Amino acid sequence: MAHSLGYCSAAADRKCRAEGQTRERIAGFKTPKTIDFIESLPRNASGKILRRHLRDPYWAGKDRQVN
């Protein structure tokens, strides 16, 4: 099955493929505005993912943490 994803450099290929797949599979208003890849997920001592730490960079400098 061929997918038309537009032009992607080798470094941005993974991000470009992820964006293309989300556009193909879910509604436009549900597609993420950005896709960021990180090396490792922050975890607590019991191994649970610290989702608040993942959100912190996006809310830096904002008064409220809602859209």
Model confidence pTM above 0.75? no
In the prediction, which pLDDT does 33 show?
A: 82
Helices (H) and strands (E) in the chain, counts: 2, 0
Tokens of 25: 């599979």
Neighbours of 49 (CB within 10 A): 11
Q: Could you report the per-residue pLDDT of 5-64, keeping only the tens digit for each?
A: 444 555 578 888 888 888 889 898 888 888 888 888 999 999 999 998 988 888 888 888
pLDDT at 66 over 80: no
